[in-house]
Structure 1
Amino acid sequence: MVETIINVEHVTMKFNLMEEKVDTLKEYVVKLIKGKLFYNEFIALHDISFTIDRGDIFGFIGFNGAGKSTMLKILAEVLKPTQGRVTVKGSIAPLIEVGAGFDPELTAKENIFLNGAILGHSKKFLEKHFDAILDFAALRDFVNVPVKNFSSGMYARLGFAIATEVRPDILIVDEVLSVGDYKFQEKCEKRIQEMINNGTTVILVSHDIGMIRRLCNKVVWLDHGRIKDIGDTERICRMYER
């Protein structure tokens, strides 16, 4: 029997965008008191509904500004929707932004324990898997280097290695893999496939339609915050490419 692991019901996400630049906290407070702060309402997502079943490899496609990353942040509980409801069953490992969950002043070693703790891993678990994380990220030579000196690709390698060392129920991956070189992308795809084979549900955002085709069994096409189409991967990708 198919089990629904994520249920998104009529989700709308609104943001208030300031009309003018405020340079200091004092200026902000003064304008707030005088009622001179003006906003434009921006609706990033409009009445979004879909379900994801356990074991799905669920892709999001769409042009920049379509609402893909906003949707992932809501699924990862980084953002709370303005309207609607999201129900998630199981543990989540989110890889949404390069460097998220890292302290740039700390070393790679220290950030493995920091980021791992944020993801819910115990110190004992991280000590046991420390070498495996370093080896997958290929950062053993940089273990004692503050990550503020890392490239975006090194950030991505370390974040992916930590998040996927344990097998979560749900793995959420935004465009962070696009900053790595092709060898690392191949390595990540192989690990994602291993996780899929072991029953992990994967939610993937990528402009790489080839990757979406290789990995996903279902796809949502977002356009200006609305669902343009949803369903079979090949059918949706063909329509998107047209």
Structure 2
Amino acid sequence: MKFKCYILDDEPLALNVIEQHLAKFNQFEVCGKSTEPFEAMSEIKILQPDLLFLDIQMPDITGLELIESLQNKPAIIITTAYREYAVEGFELNVLDYLVKPIPFTRFIKALDKFLGQKLGPVSASSISSPEAVSDSAFILVKAERKTIKIALDDVLYVEGVKDYVKIVLPQQRILTKVSIGNFMAELPGDKFLRIHKSYIVAKDKISAYTAHDVEVNQVEIPIGRVYKEAFLKVMEGRG
């Protein structure tokens, strides 16, 4: 059994992140998506999705107003950068409220909650496809006019460059247009660490470190001041 999902977000990047997350699970299929609220309202009525991923701050109408306008409401998961609407969202009986950038593990919990309602108590990861493991085996990125599948085990580190990230692999560098914050949200937190405003590193690729930098594949990468305490806590087994 597959559950139909519809995604509405006025940011194409955020929409694509959710679609890529859902593609890792056999139980879900994207039946529609849109960056235009009024177009989405018509499509939702026709497609009758089981689950709606909905942004709040959009042009002309808010996500909360859209919820109130729906006659036959699907299960709704709000996806937003704004924490302050959580109470209003839950008053409208939304299933879950995810704050961007959304960690993949948090995304799984939201799906698990949906499946729990539909199928009874069950773990999302236990009934997912082989690719849909909780730490995610790969990531899909857009680069050079194509979609590239990258095995997470191959990633050494990631460098933010303005509106892009450079993904560094042993034999390759891939540049894709996405903020480093949104990219970090797609990565499993037990395997990757944000150590600087411009750098993410793979934990198992760190060969040495100090309180000021880490060494990955013979490259020294700085540790940002605001990330230092959390980094050392993880590396010293205190977190």
How high is the TM-score relative to the length of structure 1? 0.29
Query: Normalized per residue, which structure has more strand?
Result: 2
Q: Could you say which structure has the greater relative contact order, defined with CA pairs below 8 angstroms and 6 or more residues apart?
A: 1
Query: Normalized per residue, which structure has more helix?
Result: 1
How high is the TM-score relative to the length of structure 2? 0.30
